[in-house]
Amino acid sequence: MNLTANDIFSVKSTDEFNALALSIFKLQAQNCNIYREYIFHLGVDADEVSEIAGIPFLPISFFKSHSILSSTDPVEITFSSSGTTGMVQSSHHVTDVKLYEQSYLQAFAQFYGDITEYCFLALLPSYQQRAGSSLIYMVNDLIEKSRHPQSGYFLYNHDELLKALLDLKSKKQKTVLIGVTYALLDFIEQFEIDFPELIVMETGGMKGKRKEMVREELHEQLTKGFGVNAIHSEYGMTELLSQAYSLGEGIFNCPSWMQVLIRDTNDPLSLIENGRTGGINVIDLANLNSCSFIATQDLGRINPDHSFEVLGRFDNADIRGCNLLVQ
C-alpha cells in the first residue's frame, strides 16, 4: 500500500482517521525494525489488530537509543531534542521533510488562517543557540512564508522587540509572538505592553533558567505583561511532525491528522476513559516514515469535547517496556 501526504492531510472524519491509522500501523509494524521487535516482545500480532485501542505505542525514549525508521529512503534531515550537557538526546530521522512542512503549514492555517496575513516574531534564544531544532525549522519557514518585512527573531534585544510590537500595534497588524517561556517572562519584567490583539504563543520550558511555574500563574503574569486576554501554546516535540494548539487556558486541540489518547499509568498498554489523568499517547499520521504511535512521558487528560490538557510529566522517565530492546 502506497500512502501519500494527500492521504494524511485530507483526513476529514473519525472513521477516515481510524482507517488510515490502522493502515499506517500495519505498514510500520512490518517496515520499522524497532517497532516490529517491540510489538513482537509484547506478544501482539499486528495482523490481528482491528481497532486503534489495540495498537501498541512505542515509548518515546526509544528515539534516544535507536534509529526509528519505516522507510529505506535516505534521511533528509535529523531533528534532535534539547538537553543539558551529558544527557542523551532524542533523534528523529526524517526521510521526507515535506511531510513536516505540510503538517505545520496546514495546522497553522487550520487554527489561525492565512500565514501571509501575519507578522511572525520569535523569542527563542535557547532553541536558536543549538543545532537540530525542529521548532526553529518550523519558525524559520513561518517567518519566510509570512512575507512580512518585520517578521524575524529577537535573541536578547528586548528594546528592538518592544519597538516592533508598538509599531505593529499602531498599524493594527495581525501579529504572532512565539517564545520560550523564560524569555517571555524576561521581556515582561523589563517592559509592559498593552496589545490585546497580539497572539502570544509560549512553547513551554524554563530550560533551567528559572523555577518552573504552574500554568495558571505563568499565564496570569504573561496576560498582564502583554495586555492580552489569553496565552496560546503549542504542543509538539522532536519525535513528532505535528503540533496541537491551545488558544488559551491550556486547552489543546489537534489538527485532523493527529490524535491524543490517555493510557493507564499502572497498566501502560491499556487506555483509559476521558476525564481521567494518565500518560499521553499520540497518534501522528505525519510520522509516516518513522513511527506514528508514540507513548510520551507527559501526563494529561481528555475533555468531553476531545480537547486535552497537559498536566505534567512522569516522575520516573522510564516507561514499562523500554527495557525490552536494550542493546
pLDDT at 324: 40
Q: What is the pLDDT of residue 317?
A: 43
Buried b (16+ CB within 10 A) or exposed e, 283-292: bbbbbbbbbb
Sign of the Cα torsion 306, 223, 113, 241 reads negative
Per-10-residue mean pLDDT of the chain, 327 residues long, equals 88 96 97 97 96 96 96 96 74 97 98 98 86 94 97 93 98 97 94 97 72 85 97 96 96 98 93 94 98 96 96 62 38
Threshold 0.85, pTM exceeds: yes
pLDDT at residue number 141: 97
Can you give the pLDDT at residue 313? 85
Task: Read off the amino acid at residue 232.
Answer: H
pLDDT at 149: 97
Which regions of the chain does DSSP assign to beta strands (E)? 58-59, 77-80, 91-94, 119-123, 152-153, 175-179, 199-202, 232-235, 244-246, 252-253, 258-263, 278-284, 293-302, 308-313
